[in-house]
Structure 1
Amino acid sequence: MNRPFLPLLLLAAVLATAPAAAGKFDCRAPEAALETAGELPAVAAAKRAGTPLRVTIVGSASTGGAGTSAPGKSYAAKLAAALARRLGIPVTVEAHGRRGWGSEAMVEEMPDIVAADEPQLVIWQTGTVDAVREVAPEQFGAALLKGAEALKRARVDLLLMDMQFSPIGARLIDFGPYLDYMNWVAAGTASPIFHRHAVMRAWTEEDRFGAPGRAKADQQAYADHVHACIAELLARVIDDVQAATPAR
């Protein structure tokens, strides 16, 4: 199989397993999948001071809402409102998503993105492209560590987000080593991680998804609901971590 086309195949696989009633999609996730360590001191400081929070998301195609009915339906587009409700402060979100954007390329562009956006928090969604391209896991881990340490030196909070899950994707690609390196970097840099892979795997194992072969409109409706749920769960994780971060 031609590897460059695998991201499109994985996205199609996720969207093809739409629930029978997308409008009633259940956002609940196992508590274990939402647990994470790490700290978010800049977010906590903004919450305590009641000042606006600026968030930048750097990611691949799903960050831009690939598969949804409109760009405004992406988790990135919905995160500002979800996080503002949680924190009780104004939140703005800038999203930088690109199909085929690997971690090493992201690290190269991260300084310019951070300089332009001036965020207090960067959400770094990555892993799928590297796994599809069979980038050596240790090379992937080194890129993650380099990027994480650079953000820490700049006093910018970091939250990592791992890849999506689909049954077909799990059969085609071994995501395990990449997930391991993401967890290793998160632990080593005191950065929380949003376990999107585990959340979506739990949804699949609980049989919340219906049979494949649904119409495009239904697939998009499903994607819209998944992105809305990811935004809500992501906001919860950020709020939980900042609340547990000691004042400095």
Structure 2
Amino acid sequence: MSQPRTLYQKVWDRHVVVPETAETPGVMYVDLHLVHEVTSPQAFSEIEARGLKVRRPGRTFATLDHSTPTLPAGPDGQRPYVTEQARRQVETLEANCARHGVELAGWGSDQRGVVHVMGPELGLTQPGMTVVCGDSHTATHGAFGALAFGIGTSEVGHVLATQCLLQRRAKSMRVTVDGALRSGVSGKDVALAVIAAIGFGGGTGYVIEYAGEAVRALDMEGRMTLCNMSIEAGARAGMIAPDQTTVDWLRGRRHVPADYEAAVADWLGLATDPGAVF
């Protein structure tokens, strides 16, 4: 009989391509690579310099969100970028996506938005996935039971070229918050209380799983905030096991599986097994 596993261990085990050894990290497959205009230009340049292509364009989704002006274009059609660098970043991502066949939520797209909000709202982010992005708060997606974390620019290039990442398995920590939150107390308050309790480095080397009555009572937006702020405790990622709240929130989203009920049955099986060790 297999050993009881945590949510994190189940997702990790599904994505190991080559197991880690004492000398080398493991190779982990990436289900969803989210890309934006700030951390991707050098990564695209690197793979092109090596004569490589994007390995899985269908597993890569890009959006304009970091350097984009919030004011509309002027009468001349020019957008009021704050800096010339911002303009170049946006135009470079547009060119890179066109050249490599990567779907881009560009200026005219109704899918464009803040990368860590857009992914869930479109149903790109799903329970049990591995999700990476060149942004430190990619842990936001862990609210859906995904293993999600930020990566550096060189790693962005590695994922573009291989759809994999070199990783060592993290340790597992569970934070259980029971009782009912008072009126006006949000997911951010829970995150700050956790950080106060364990310290800003208390999560270093761990993936934190949040559980308990108070966590289950949070809506998906509150859960996203809680997982987002795992990074402020030094954790690699934060995760919450999918439940009916998750299922109801994702239902009908643009990119969820066609056989939704079959997907749901799989997602709900990701919950940490009784007796799993943290």
> Under a length normalisation based on structure 1, what TM-score does the superposition of the two structures give?
0.29
Decide which structure has greater helix share.
1
For normalisation by structure 2, the TM-score amounts to: 0.26
Q: Comparing both structures, which one devotes a greater share of its residues to strand?
A: 2
Q: Which one has more relative contact order, counting CA pairs under 8 Å at least 6 apart?
A: 1
